[in-house]
Structure 1
Amino acid sequence: MKSKYVVLASALFISVASFAQKDEIKAAEKAIKKGNSQEAATILQGAESLIANASDDEKAQFFFVKGNIYLDLANKKIDTDKNLAAAAAAYLNLVDAEKASGKSKYTSDAAKSIIEIKYKLINSAIADSKIEKNSDSAKKLYDAYLLDKKDTLNLYYAASTYVNAKEYDQALKIYQELKEMNYSGKGINYLAVNKITDAEDLFTTAAERDKVVKMGTHEKPTTEVIPSKRGEIFKNMALILVDAGKTEEAKKAIEEARAANPEDTSLILTQANLYLQTKDFDTYKKLINEVLAKNPNDADLVFNLGVLSANAKDVVNAEKYYARALEINPKYVNAYINMAALKLEAEGPIIAKMNKLGNSDKDMKSYAVLKTERQNIFKSVIPYLEKAMEVDSKNEDVANTLLNVYSALEMTAQKKALEAKNEVVYYF
């Protein structure tokens, strides 16, 4: 008999607790309607400990109210980051509760708030990234992905930002997620210049873009192909694994990726880079030749081979690949820039030698020879920098470098003309 009374008492306790919980939720709702979100949060905390035993319907209501409270606090700029994260977590719990119950009373109402939080998180992540708060930025991007898992670009950016934060374990975990979903990121952007703002607007389809061009609100339609990001994903995975002493795991991951995506040449480049890192030069050369055999006239591919060669301090082949990329595409601005940068690297050792010289006649003669060598380097990069400026006249880095070169060679007329044209400040 005693056990029956205990069961009955327990059932009564749960029932009373449920009533108390409902009362607190209602009280919290009233407080938020009056604009007292802080008070509402305090009231709702009283129901927090009881929510585990609540029904799915009650959980859904609780999390919906909780999400509304913390979103309102975030919008009032009260502990914005903390409350935005709390609101996001509450809405996700709401969605899970309604999935479990098979009902959808609050999910549709919460959908707008979820999208609002998503974009607030993204904007806040961008702001954090600009001031190098990369860890905070990465977490927000990941939270934004959790709110809208169809938008996988946020997951990709979260991984990259964790790399910038040097939180390699977190980055590797997300790269693993991207690998498992066979994420590519490949796509097409349809762009046109807005005549009012003079900025490029992005459109979902070519038809949508072409429509506004015909209407006359936009001009200069362009189509931008977004290349596959698999190569970068697996390159970063490989670098993290190699850094952790897991070279064989890195090789296996890339082999699996290549097996799943045999036509993705970016993965071959990644594999080549891995063997370069591990000083297996024979396999590296074999893979490079495999890339060239697949598509010898792909300017991007050839350019990337130049980058790999430059990273390997193979200047001869780096120059060869950059020159070949320019043969294929004479407007390949990055090939001009990298070619100039490659040649300018030879300046460093010359300056080091010059700084070691004294004032003797012999040293002065050596100085004159080294000065001529340095000037010849500057002269050799002028054609590439000038071509880069022709292709991309707004590139400040190229303009500043060219101004430095003109100044070093005392090409006053060219320097003044470039300054007048670009209104740039140079540093030398």
Structure 2
Amino acid sequence: MKKQIIIAFTLLLSTFLFAQKKELKAVEKALKNNNYSEAKSLLSQIEPMLSSMDAKTKSQYNYDKAQALYANGAGSSKDIDGALESLKNVSEGYQAEVAQLKQNMVNKLLTSGNAAYEKNDFSTASNDFEQAYRASTKDTTYLYYAAATAVNMQDFDRALGLYKELKDLGYTGIEKQYFATNVETGKEELFQEKGLRDVSVKAKTYIKPEDRKSESKKAEIVKNIALIYISKDDNENALAAMKEARAEDPDDINLLLSEANVYYKMGNTEAFKNALKVATEKDPNNPELQYNLGVIASESGDVDEAMAYYNKALELDPNYINADINIAALILNKEQALIEEMNGLGSSKKDDLRYDELKGMRQQLYRDAIPYLTKALEIDSKNISAAKTLMNIYSVLGEKDKYNDIKAKVDAIEAEN
């Protein structure tokens, strides 16, 4: 009796496996005829049998499911994700078929991604590049493209995740590059493939072949992680990432400035000032750094130091308009103390003399500011702030002709706006 039960069960199992294979043959027939919707329908009917399938039959099912979902490139983004997930479950056989299907996916996704990128459809491009990487994880450059295009569409959360994945993978982006000099133009050119470069040299249309390695993108990736944290106002993580980025590229001035800006946003003026000073030591001929140090000195109440930094900025770049405007502001800010003293004077002869003295000092402030405001207008004729300040100064000084000239400019600027 026991033996009969075993035989009966074996017969039942064989019948069940036969049914599975029969269903899968129907799926493969639908796939052969490019009838992907029918294939998906049949696969959904087979799915409840998965737990009873052997490893080889499961692999066949998952390979067929991947083909049905991909639909020779017609599948949706979600379908492609499903197809890639199914291919992960192909454990026996089909190695060559899986490799070919993945290569087809990569080729189509890259074509689609590049076309989307050309149309500034960064969302589609980023998704296509990421899926190309998921289909071919040895090609980490595709993941880098996905992260970069996510930044272009300002999807910083997505970009952050992709950049962190690249960082964890140890991606550097270093690759061999093939150069040669064009005989006709005399200019060096980069070739996409070594074989093409070598054929061109052999044909004597190019000379001086040279192989080089591209620069590492590791510092750029860590830097972008830090900058994304900054954009998200996550200052603590930004500073931690910035520290790591600077360790990768200590001479990157822009990175140092970004770190300084984080300190500024956090209200840590001293750290901001120190970071700018370090940047100034690394790049002493950068007028922007001198100007920013001037701003900090001014906000700290150190007028003389601020004036020195602004003048240094103008020395490095005579057309640095913001330095001209801020110098004029520093000069005019001294007016308030004079006005307060003038308003506090009495009517005695001594007070009258002091009043006239203060009035002369006030007018001198105006005259000292005029050259900087005039120069600012010469650099930017539409600068309404500089124009209005000049107009008011000439009004107070009683210089009617100059006042009328500037007023006409102010009116013209305002009319345009």
TM-score normalised by L of structure 1: 0.58
Match of 2:262 in 1: 277
Instruction: Please name the residue that 1:366 is paired with.
Output: 406
CA distance in 1, matches of 2:51, 2:315: 65
User: Would the alpha carbon gap of residues 35 and 238 (structure 1) be closer, same or farther in structure 2, given more than 3 Å must change?
Assistant: closer
Is 2:43–2:65's contact at 8 Å kept on the other side of the alignment? yes
Shift of 1:132: 4.0
- Cα distance in 1 for partners of 2:377, 2:88 equals 57
Residue 411 of structure 1 corresponds to which residue in structure 2? none
Count of residue pairs brought into register by the alignment: 323
* Distance of aligned partners of 1:185 and 1:287 in 2 relative to their CA distance in 1, 3 Å threshold: farther
| CA distance in 2 between partners of 1:187 and 1:345 (Å) | 49
TM-fit CA distance, 1:13: 8.4
Once the two structures are TM-superposed, the CA of residue 145 in structure 1 deviates from its matched residue by 1.0
* Larger of the two Rg values belongs to structure: 2
Name the SS of the counterpart of 1:190 in structure 2.
Answer: strand
Report the Cα distance in structure 2 between the residues aligned to 1:69 and 1:318, rounded to whole angstroms. 67
1:252 Cα offset (Å): 1.8
Residue by residue, what CA displacement relative to the aligned partner does 1:59-114 show, whole Å, maximum 9, x if unpaired? 2212222233344443xxxxx350x653464255324432xxxx4x2122221221
221, 232, 237: which one pairs with 1:249? 237
Describe how 1:2-401 pairs up with structure 2 within 5 A.
Answer: 18-51=17-50, 53-74=52-73, 80=74, 82=76, 86-87=79-80, 89-98=82-91, 103=92, 105-191=93-179, 202-205=191-194, 209-216=197-204, 218=206, 226-258=214-246, 261=248, 264-265=249-250, 269-279=254-264, 280=268, 283=271, 320=316, 347=380, 349-350=382-383, 365-366=405-406
Q: Describe the shift of the 1:126–1:366 C-alpha distance in structure 2 as closer, same or farther (beyond 3 A).
A: same
Residues 122 and 150, structure 2, Cα contact 8 Å, conserved in 1: yes
Distance 1:56 1:313 in 2: 72
CA-CA distance at 1:26 after TM superposition: 0.8
**Paired amino acid for 1:347:** D
CA distance in 1 between counterparts of 2:164 and 2:105 reads 26
Q: Is the 8 A contact 1:32 1:69 kept in 2?
A: yes
Q: Which runs of 5+ in 2 are unaligned?
A: 296-309, 318-375, 392-399, 411-417
2: CA distance, partners of 1:309 / 1:11:
87
1:42 maps to amino acid: S
Deviation at 1:33, TM superposition (A): 2.1
Instruction: Give 1:253 shift.
Output: 2.6
How far apart in 2 are the matches of 1:367 and 1:181?
Answer: 63
What is the distance in 2 between the residues matched to 1:272 and 1:143? 35
Shift of 1:14: 7.6
Residue type of the alignment partner of 2:90: A
- Show structure 1 runs of 5+ residues with no match: 75-79, 297-301, 322-342, 371-428
Following superposition, the deviation at residue 256 of structure 1 comes to 3.9
In the aligned structure 2, how far is the partner of 1:176 from the partner of 1:237?
Answer: 7
Cα distance in structure 1, aligned partners of 2:10 and 2:251: 63
Q: CA deviation at 1:178?
A: 1.7
What are the Cα deviations for residues 286-307 of structure 1, in whole angstroms up to 9, with x where unaligned?
556767878x8xxxxx99x788
CA contact (8 A) 1:142 1:154 kept: yes
What letter corresponds to residue 79 of structure 2 in structure 1?
A
Query: What is the identity, as a one-letter code, of the residue corresponding to 2:192?
Result: F
Name the CA shift for 1:97/1:34 in 2 (closer, same or farther; >3 Å). Answer: closer
How far apart are 1:151 and its partner, in Å? 1.5
Q: Which residue of 1 aligns with 2:323?
A: none
Amino-acid identity (%): 29
Aligned residue in 2 for 1:397: none
Question: Offset of 1:27 from its aligned partner?
Answer: 0.4
Q: Deviations over 1:376-413 (max 9, x none)?
A: xxxxxxxxxxxxxxxxxxxxxxxxxxxxxxxxxxxxxx
Displacement of 1:271 after TM fit? 4.5
